[in-house]
Amino acid sequence: KAGVTQTPRYLIKTRGQQVTLSCSPISGHRSVSWYQQTPGQGLQFLFEYFSETQRNKGNFPGRFSGRQFSNSRSEMNVSTLELGDSALYLCASSWGHTNTEAFFGQGTRLTVV
Amino acid sequence: DQQVKQNSPSLSVQEGRISILNCDYTNSMFDYFLWYKKYPAEGPTFLISISSIKDKNEDGRFTVFLNKSAKHLSLHIVPSQPGDSAVYFCAASAEGGGADGLTFGKGTHLIIQP
């Protein structure tokens, strides 16, 4: 069974630009969550999608948004990039809600210059 | 305000001995706890979980203990092996979810000495 796939693995963007990251969950998983990992803050929850609906949202500004498609694939978008958005963005999928085991992809390393 | 705390940033253990990683939480709504292992440049790998209705869960060399009254959980690895060297994250969630999804601690870097 294929794992969680995130693309691209690495990305360099300029301040002010926008970026879209993609996540393909494990087949059969309907919940997709996104997390931001930085050295200072650790892993922080961005949002969760289940059956194309955003169910939970973390404490991030509106520049961070996401969506989920009917095949459970998810994208997250960050607009007007800031230097502080440089981080590892991780996607996790699970069969049900987040109180079940979540399986992570390898992440997208975003660098904003 | 950190709701899940891993107070030891790093831990060094000799190969073959027991590794004990600790985690404390403050939110009494948390009722499902997970441990993840992370190597550099990879996503976290799920290790083991425990529901609040249990106080112990075992899977091979890994055992998680939950003390609800103390809001404390620990991960025991016995015996420790070189491949166990990684960063370990404790995570928690509340039944039915909540605004926070999984809440993670900041991790403990476990180093297994040969």
Chain B's closest residue to A109, CA to CA, is: B41
* pLDDT tens string B55-93: 999 999 999 999 999 999 999 999 999 999 999 999 998
Q: What is the pLDDT of residues A49-89, one digit of tens each?
A: 998 999 888 889 999 999 999 999 999 999 999 999 999 99
Q: Are A4 and A90 in contact (CB under 8 A)?
A: no
Q: Which residue has the higher pLDDT, B2 or B21?
A: B21
Q: Kindly tell me if the per-residue pLDDT of A19 is higher than 60.
A: yes
User: Who contacts B29 (Cβ-Cβ below 8 Å, separation ≥6)?
Assistant: B94, B95, B98
Task: Convert the pLDDT of each residue in B4-45 to its tens digit.
Answer: 999 999 999 999 999 999 999 999 989 899 999 999 878 899
pLDDT, residue A2, reads 74
From B36, B42, B99, residue closest to A56, measured CB to CB: B99
SS3 A84: helix
Look at the block and give the residue holding tokens 């790093």. B10
Name the residue facing B34 among A56, A101, A106 (closest C-beta).
Answer: A101
Q: Å from B13 to nearest chain A CA?
A: 23
Distance from CA of A19 to the nearest CA of B (A): 20
Token pair of A97 as six digits: 């809600």
The pLDDT assigned to A99 comes to: 55
User: Three-class SS of residue B36?
Assistant: strand
Q: How many CB atoms neighbour CB B113 within 10 A? A: 11
Partner residue opposite A103 with nearest CB, options B46, B95, B96? B46
* Residue A24 binned pLDDT confidence (cut-offs 50, 70, 90): very high
- Please name the residues in contact with B98: beta carbons below 8 A apart, sequence gap of 6 or more: A56, B29
Contact state of A99 with B41 under an 8 Å Cβ cutoff: no
Percent of chain A residues topping a pLDDT of 70 = 96
Contacts of A98 in chain B (CB under 8 A): 93, 97, 101-102
Q: Answer yes or no: do A99 and B97 touch at CB < 8 A.
A: yes
Q: How far apart are CA A99 and CA B49, in angstroms?
A: 10
State the Cα–Cα distance between residues A70 and A14, nearest whole angstrom. 32
In angstroms, the CA A53 to CA A60 distance is 18
Report the mean per-residue pLDDT for chain A: 92
| pLDDT of res. A102 | 85
Cross-chain CB nearest to B93 (options A4, A57, A98) = A98
CA distance B106 to chain A (A): 5
pLDDT at position A39, please? Answer: 82
DSSP state of A79: -
Cis peptide before B82 (omega within 30 of 0): no
Rounded to whole angstroms, how far apart are CA atoms A52 and A7?
A: 19
The residue of chain B nearest to residue A57, with distances taken between CA atoms, is B99
| pLDDT tens-place string over residues B93-104 | 886 555 567 889
